[in-house]
Amino acid sequence: MKTLRPTLILALLAGLTTGAAHAADFTQVLTDKSSLAFTSKQMGVPVDGLFRKFSAQLAFDPAKPATASTVLEIDLASIDAGSKDANEEVVGKQWFNVKAFPTARFVSTAVKAVGGGRYEVSGKMTIKGQTHDVVAPFTFRQDGANGVFDGGFVLKRMDFGIGEGPWSDVSAVANEIQIKFHVVAAPAPAKK
CA atoms of 137 and 111, how far apart (whole Å): 10
For the domain 25-187, what is the CATH code?
2.40.128.110
Q: Where are the domains of the chain?
A: 25-187
CA atoms of 185 and 170, how far apart (whole Å): 36
C-alpha separations of 182 from 13, 115, 116, 151 in Å = 29, 19, 18, 7
Per residue in 58-80, pLDDT tens? 999 999 999 999 999 999 999 99
Higher pLDDT: 4 or 37? It is 37
Per residue in 108-157, pLDDT tens? 999 999 999 999 999 999 999 999 999 999 999 999 999 999 999 999 99
Q: What are phi and psi of 7, to 5 degrees?
A: -65, -45
Q: What is the pLDDT of residue 192?
A: 62
Q: What is the pLDDT of residue 2?
A: 41
What three-state secondary structure class fits 163?
Answer: coil
